[in-house]
Amino acid sequence: MRGITPRQGRQRGNIEELPSGGFRVGMYAGIDPLTKKRHDLRETVPAGPGAARDAQTGTDTPTHAG
């Protein structure tokens, strides 16, 4: 059985590595109240020395989509 540490908790989204070296971060944001469709947020983190760290931060703190 795999344990989840209280500090980490559950994974909140997915991180996909792009051919350019950057990352695409995606996370579920709920159901749209008008259309009743699933709403997913997506953000692209450009390649660079801290790209992996920035991508992980993207799943920890979701951006507000207007």
Residues 20 and 5: their CA atoms lie apart, in Å, by 32
| Res. 37: pLDDT tops 90 | yes
Task: Please tell me the predicted confidence (pLDDT) of residue 35.
Answer: 94
Residue 38 is assigned to a structural domain of this protein: yes
Domain hosting 47: range is 14-60
Residue 36 is assigned to a structural domain of this protein: yes
Over residues 17-28, the pLDDT tens digits come to: 889 888 898 888
Residue 28 is assigned to a structural domain of this protein: yes
Comparing C-alpha atoms, which of 4, 9, 19, 2 is closest to residue 59?
A: 9
What's the whole-model pTM score? 0.62
